[in-house]
Structure 1
Amino acid sequence: MLKPRVRLPLAEETRDLALFTLAIDSKLRACDSTKLRVRGTAHGEHVSSRAIVMPQKAQHPVQFEITEQAQTVLEAWMHQGHLRSEDFLFPTRLHSSDHLSTRQYAWIVKAWVTSIGLDPTMYGTHTLRRTKASVIYRRIKDMRAARLLLGHTKLESIVKYLGIEVDSDCK
């Protein structure tokens, strides 16, 4: 699922690359990613290395790191889009809303997936949410770390969410 990081810069789609890299870094649900404001990720013209958001579904704030690659592309997008502190990070071009809708976001992800030759029925916005936690889990085999990254409260939900096979003595 990381191939768009290569293809999107070639297509000069700064907004899409910013959306993609932030989705991977933040591990936020689509409804939360689309509602991010510039002030939630940046101070002035510079994107922070960390951000804290209050997700719609969770009852507590979630903090996430923003990698240098994501910071660079987000700064380029903010500059290109003439975005101010109070603006949504991903404004829509439609007049019915101030920010991308989750449906628009899903269409964008479907276009990315299709453009790299993958089956769009197998990947979506939630795939982006799971990516970083899945990669980290495969490296360190720590369910608690994956649970914290995704903001889940129960270890059992991480097992199901990431499709992890667990020995009975590890539950």
Structure 2
Amino acid sequence: MQSNKTCPLVEQYLGYLVVIKGRSENTIKEYRTDLLMFFNFIMLSRNTPIINNNFAAVNVEFIKTISLNDMYSFIAYCQTELQASAGTRARKIVSIRQFWKYLKTKANLIENNIADELETPKIPKRIPKYLSLEESVRLLIQCQKSPRDHCIITIFLNCALRLSELASLNIEQVGNDVLTVIGKGNKERKIFLTPAAKKSINNWMQIRNTLNVNTKALFISRNSGQITTRAVQNIVKKYVLAAGLDPKTISAHKLRHTAATLMYKYGRVGMRSLQLILGHESIATTEIYTHIDEKQLQSAVNSNPLAMMFN
């Protein structure tokens, strides 16, 4: 849904992202927010009034007056005033860079792309939080009484889907052996179903087929419509609490981390295979799942032949 704050140039760019690049609704929303926040910052710094929430003043002439220093001032403002994380600041920089690139190379509205020089902050690599095998089993046991919820948790832990991917699943995406997933940028990928996932889906489908619903959605909400991402988050939280786990650190997204980690740790899955399963555009994103747990680190240290030399 379009914001009530509009900028013709930005909307032109976002239209290009939807039609030509096939970007998702969430991506469009983030780009719009980032760019309007940036222009709002520039206009306020120049005492230029924003009339009726309208950014029509942000035209090509206005764009040409913006300097690289203005861009860095905005990122500094995000860091100091908004306490934005390095990841959030990096995303805003990408939004600005991509918009300027479009203005130069696609729309041919500017001659110089000063945003090319805009550097992104170094983002610290964090080991993703995930459930151990024992914790995963505890979670699955807790939701056994609800075929729908058990199917949701099982698919997360077996297929490593994103929250949005799982919530938007339709019946026709479920095959006998394969799950067809529509990921970021409307890219399609296929994930082989494990025996546990197949059984869980069959159990839920037996119940779903008895329901009088007018939707192709795989997972049905209480009001007989397609389940929302918020509802899925609440379902995960409910069973995380029931399993005695911490809901502050374990979310639906962490179940995706868990599936990827268990595949890598126990299945000796290669990076390329894991990248395809997770639907990552860059293998660098997949590499966060190659973290090694503390027991493996301890084992590696103790494998040193000098480890038992006391004298």
TM-score normalised per structure 2 = 0.45
The aligned counterpart of 2:272 is 144
Higher helix share: 2
1:88 is aligned, of 190, 202, 217, to 217
Give the gaps of 5 or more residues in structure 2: 1-130, 293-311
CA RMSD of aligned residues (A): 2.3
Confirm or deny that 1:8 pairs with 2:143.
yes
Give the gaps of 5 or more residues in structure 1: 43-47, 166-171
Query: What does the per-residue CA deviation read over 1:31-68, in whole Å, with 9 as the maximum and x for residues that have no partner?
Result: 110111112114xxxxx11122222x145311111112
Greater relative CO, 1 or 2 (CA 8 Å, sep 6+):
1
Partner Cα distance (1:27, 1:141) in 2: 14
8 Å CA contact 1:38–1:86 kept in 2: the answer is no
Give the % identical residues. 25
Query: Greater Rg, structure 1 or structure 2?
Result: 2
1:159 is aligned, of 287, 291, 306, to 287
2:162 is aligned, of 29, 33, 36, to 29
TM-score normalised per structure 1 = 0.79
**Structure 1 residues 31 and 141, CA gap change in structure 2 (3 angstroms):** closer
Deviation at 1:107, TM superposition (A): 0.6
**Structure 1 residues 66 and 5, CA gap change in structure 2 (3 angstroms):** same
3-state SS, counterpart of residue 62 of structure 1: strand
Deviation at 1:8, TM superposition (A): 1.9
Deviation at 1:134, TM superposition (A): 1.0
Deviation at 1:76, TM superposition (A): 1.6
1:121 is aligned, of 244, 248, 251, to 248
**Structure 1 residues 30 and 36, CA gap change in structure 2 (3 angstroms):** same
3-state SS, counterpart of residue 143 of structure 2: helix
1:41 is aligned, of 174, 182, 192, to 174
8 Å CA contact 2:171–2:216 kept in 1: the answer is yes
Q: 1:54-93, aligned counterparts within 5 Å?
A: 54-55=182-183, 57-81=184-208, 82=210, 87-93=216-222
Deviation at 1:29, TM superposition (A): 1.0
For 2:270, the aligned partner's letter is D
The aligned counterpart of 2:9 is none
Partner Cα distance (1:13, 1:29) in 2: 21
8 Å CA contact 1:30–1:126 kept in 2: the answer is yes
